């Protein structure tokens, strides 16, 4: 049985009915849900919360989605810090870790397939993470 982590970009495509990406995102989320468990973490939760005016509406949407809550393991937090340090050493300009660092680290330490539209940073900093992404990405 496969286990997945849904990136916020994919969930936002579905929530906002994105004209370019909603169909791809719905298909891949449904496929993943049919194959196993699909998780979200606190970072994804915070990012998708921007599409809701009330927490109750977000909680209802999540309860109906089949997505499973997962805390960030401490090993993922540590790995995210290491990856961010490497990013800075290699010339990265951001002064604080980006959400992608936490999401990628969670997928890495929990051996989850990451469903995302933008695997660039994940592939760079977490090359062992398996991704489900659009062709050519």
Residue 37: predicted pLDDT: 97
Q: What is the mean pLDDT of residues 25-52?
A: 97
Asked whether the predicted pLDDT for residue 3 surpasses 80, the reply is yes
User: Structure pTM?
Assistant: 0.93
- Per-domain boundaries in the chain: 2-132
Q: Which of the four pLDDT bands, split at 50, 70 and 90, describes residue 67?
A: very high
Residue 135: predicted pLDDT: 87
For 2-132, which CATH superfamily applies? 5'-nuclease (3.40.50.1010)
Averaged pLDDT score across all residues of the chain: 95
The secondary structure of 27-48 as a DSSP string is: HHHHHHHHHEEEEE-HHHHHHH
Residue 1: predicted pLDDT: 80
């Amino acid at each position: 049985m496969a286990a997945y982590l849904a990136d916020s970009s994919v969930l936002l495509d579905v929530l906002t009915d994105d004209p370019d990406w909603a169909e791809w995102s719905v298909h891949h989320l449904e496929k993943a849900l049919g194959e196993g468990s699909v998780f979200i973490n606190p970072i994804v939760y915070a990012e998708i919360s921007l599409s809701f005016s009330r927490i109750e509406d977000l909680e209802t949407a999540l309860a109906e989605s089949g997505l499973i809550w997962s805390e960030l393991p401490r090993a993922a937090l540590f790995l995210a810090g290491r990856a961010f340090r490497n990013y800075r050493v290699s010339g990265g300009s951001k002064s604080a870790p980006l959400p992608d660092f936490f999401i990628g680290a969670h997928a890495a330490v929990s051996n989850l397939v990451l469903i995302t539209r933008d695997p660039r940073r994940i592939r760079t900093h977490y090359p062992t993470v398996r991704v489900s992404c659009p062709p050519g990405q």
